[in-house]
């Protein structure tokens, strides 16, 4: 049986309320009851769609990520990395940053959720950097043998910053990081 279809307006209201709450109160200000109250929706309407607070945030962030996934291709490794890092860090200074922080907080409390996040979001972000590296590699720019560690060096500092000091993620820092990773990736093999 199909039954009554879900009201798309309810979906939108939940997403919107989640964004607003996490934006101006951070992870601590987000609760299932709070989301329901703010969106003018019953708690069950939320629980019918999401099994936990983490799922709500993950969905909101996934929707955000679908719209803009940076994948620069300028023909120069450092330029590609710089563009990607600047765009990514700029996002971390705004609402997506708060969402990522909430995501991390949730992941730290639930290993299964952490795995879900990895498979949903992290993987595609890493793939984007992997493509940049592969293109540079085919141009002969990259000599470093291991993509994975290079990707860790790109994203590691970002999460480090998100946890302890998000203001660290400036354009200047993006430039330093792009330079460092490029230098390593193109360093002559010994």
Partner DNA sequence: TCGCTACGGTCCGGTGCGTATTGGAATTAG
Partner DNA sequence: CTAATTCCAATACGCACCGGACCGTAGCGA
Q: How many CA atoms lie within 13 A of 131 on its CB side?
A: 12
Stretch near DNA under the rule CB under 7 A, chosen from 51-59, 61-69, 94-102, 114-122: 51-59
For DNA, which is the closer residue by CB, 31 or 187? 31
Residue 1 binds to DNA (criterion: CB under 7 A): yes
Let me know the angle formed at the C-alpha of 125 by 171 and 185, rounded to the nearest 5 degrees.
65
Tell me which of DNA, a copy of itself, none is bound by residue 23, counting a contact when its beta carbon lies within the kind-specific cut-off of 5 to 8 angstroms. none
- Under rule CB under 8 A, how many of the chain's residues touch a copy of itself? 40
Residue 4 binds to DNA (criterion: CB under 7 A): yes
Residue 31 binds to DNA (criterion: CB under 7 A): yes
Task: Give the three-class secondary structure for 141.
Answer: coil
Residues 6+ apart with CB under 8 A from 158: 88, 89, 92, 169
* Binding-site member from 17, 19, 22, 41 for DNA (CB under 7 A): 41
- Residue 72 CB coordination number (10 Å): 16
- Residue 183 CB coordination number (10 Å): 10
Tell me which of DNA, a copy of itself, none is bound by residue 2, counting a contact when its beta carbon lies within the kind-specific cut-off of 5 to 8 angstroms. DNA
Phi, psi of 144 (to 5 degrees): -65, 135
**Nearest Cα residue to 101 out of 67, 57, 64, 65:** 57
* Binding-site member from 6, 12, 156, 171 for a copy of itself (CB under 8 A): 156
The answer to whether 177 and 159 are in contact (CB under 8 A) is no
* Binding-site member from 52, 108, 124, 171 for a copy of itself (CB under 8 A): 108
CB of 31 to DNA, least distance (A): 3
The answer to whether 178 and 77 are in contact (CB under 8 A) is no
Interface positions with DNA (CB under 7 A): 1-7, 10, 31-34, 40-45, 47-48, 51-53
Interface positions with a copy of itself (CB under 8 A): 26-28, 101-102, 104-105, 107-110, 114-115, 117-118, 122, 144, 146, 149-150, 152-153, 155-160, 162-165, 176-177, 180, 183-184, 187-188, 190
């Amino acid at each position: 049986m199909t039954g009554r279809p879900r009201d798309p307006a309810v979906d939108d209201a939940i997403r919107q309320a989640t964004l607003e709450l996490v934006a101006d109160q951070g992870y601590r200000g987000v609760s299932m009851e709070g989301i329901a109250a703010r969106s003018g929706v019953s708690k069950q309407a939320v629980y019918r769609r999401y099994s936990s607070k983490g799922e709500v945030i993950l969905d909101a962030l996934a929707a955000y990520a679908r719209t803009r996934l940076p994948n620069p291709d300028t023909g120069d490794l450092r330029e590609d990395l710089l563009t990607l890092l600047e765009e990514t860090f700029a996002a971390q200074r705004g609402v997506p940053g708060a969402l990522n922080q909430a995501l991390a907080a949730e992941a730290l409390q639930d290993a299964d959720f952490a795995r879900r996040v990895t498979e949903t979001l992290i993987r595609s972000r890493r793939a984007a950097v992997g493509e940049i590296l592969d293109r540079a590699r085919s141009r002969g720019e990259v000599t470093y043998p291991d993509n994975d560690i290079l990707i860790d060096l790109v994203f590691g500092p970002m999460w480090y910053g998100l946890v302890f000091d998000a203001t660290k993620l400036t354009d200047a820092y993006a430039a330093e990081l792009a330079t460092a990773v490029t230098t390593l990736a193109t360093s002559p093999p010994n």
